[in-house]
Structure 1
Amino acid sequence: MTQHLRPGEVYAGLLLGENGAPDAHLFLLPGDVSGVTWDAAKAWAVKAGGELPTRREQRILFANAKLCFQAAWYWSGEQHADGSDFAWGQNFGNGDQYYDHKSYAGHARAVRRLAI
């Protein structure tokens, strides 16, 4: 997998598809941002060359790349299904996932995927 790593990236793991077969490789991009709303975090991630991770990807990042994060709350790219004013995130201190108002000032990291 090292041949697919770009400078500063961390290989975070393998994503499985619906049938359990390998679907994509997950890479954590270098850099982070703090004190940003959900919309600002999404824009920052695109500018960094990726996107915000899904909730599922955040669980993989917590398991495989926790040391790359501060013990803080990070935005996911997923909006809450019951309220368009809320989005999900993950606390990389304790592993909890919960949602907050999109105006909350949180942290963000970007990821990219390599389809298999």
Structure 2
Amino acid sequence: MNDFSPLRSRRGLLAKPHRHVDALQIDETDVPLGASINNLLRWVRDRIGRNATQGVDWRSGIDGLRPYTQRLWHEHPRASKRRFLEHARAWWDGASVPDGSGSRSTHHPGA
């Protein structure tokens, strides 16, 4: 008997496994520090799109931002964070997968 049941988010999205990729090297001067949340998301989408045309996986771009994510997050007011989370939650939930310990590890899905 197979007890496997795919994990789904509260909105019905299937969990997506995170494949290993090397982080893109992103210079701090290229990151739009201080930009509004909308401009930041536009920058991330544009950067991932440009990289994709060169065959670079979107995960590399997200992993390349990790050194800056705390600073980027803390720069934004609570209302902006709340709006961002309302829109990103379904994708975030769909990108979290079991890590084998009984908890769920989350991986950034693309912005």
Answer whether TM exceeds 0.5 for this pair.
Answer: no
More relative contact order, 1 or 2 (CA 8 Å, 6+ apart): 2
Structure having the larger proportion of residues in helix: 2
Structure having the larger proportion of residues in strand: 1
Larger Rg: 1 or 2? 2
TM-score, with structure 1 as normaliser = 0.28
TM-score, with structure 2 as normaliser = 0.29
